[in-house]
Amino acid sequence: MEIVATKKKYIAHMEYENSLKSTFSSSFSSMNHNWNFLRRTLNSSFNSSFSNSYSKNLATIKQDISTYEEISSQLYSDLVDLQAVQQRIEYSKTLKGKYFHVLGHFFSLYCIWKIIISFINIVFNRVGKGRKRTIQLKRFLLLLLLFS
C-alpha cells in the first residue's frame, strides 16, 4: 500500500506541475503578442517529445496503481478466507466440533443407505408396498388405538 500511495503522490505532483506550466505559459503568451507565433512553434517542437513521454509515463504509473490495488484486494480476500479456515480448525478441536463431525459421518452413511434401499425398491418393484414388519407394526398400533 505504501507503493500505491507513493505513486499516487507522484502522479498528483506531476499533474500539478503540468497545470502550473500550462497556466504560466498561457499567461506569459498573452503578455507578449509579437513573439507568440515563434514561441508556440518552438514550444510545440520541444515539448511534443516531452509531453509524449510524460503521458506514457503517467499511463504506465496509473496502470501499475490499478494492478497493485487489485492485488491488495485479492490478498485481503485471501486473508479473510484463511482466518475463516483457522476458526473452523479451532472449532473442530473442541468437544462440540468432534461431536458434529461424528454426527455428520453418521448422517452421510444413513443417507447412502437410504439411497441404496430406494434403488433396490425401484429395481425390484417394491415401490408403494410396505415391508412385512412395517405392516405388522401398523396393525398392532391400530389394535392398540381401537381397544384403548
Count of the separate structural domains present in the chain: 2
Question: What is the tens place of the pLDDT at every residue in 91-109?
Answer: 999 999 999 999 999 999 9
Query: 10 with 41, same domain?
Result: yes
Phi-psi region of 128 (alpha: psi -120 to 50; beta: other; left: phi over 0): left
* Enclosing domain of residue 129: 95-148
Query: 76 with 112, same domain?
Result: no
Query: 59 with 16, same domain?
Result: yes
Query: 99 with 131, same domain?
Result: yes
- Cα distance between residue 50 and residue 71, in whole Å: 31
Q: How many CB atoms lie within 10 A of CB 54?
A: 14
Please say whether the beta carbons of 11 and 58 come within 8 A: yes
Query: 53 with 78, same domain?
Result: yes
Query: 80 with 106, same domain?
Result: no
Query: 10 with 64, same domain?
Result: yes
For residue 86, give the C-alpha cell: 483457522
Question: What is the tens place of the pLDDT at every residue in 111-144?
Answer: 999 999 988 888 887 766 667 788 888 888 888 8
Distance set, CA 99 to CA 79, 85, 111 (Å): 28, 19, 18
Q: Which amino acid is at 30?
A: S
Contacts of 88 (CB under 8 A, 6+ apart): none
Query: 58 with 109, same domain?
Result: no
pTM for the model stands at 0.48
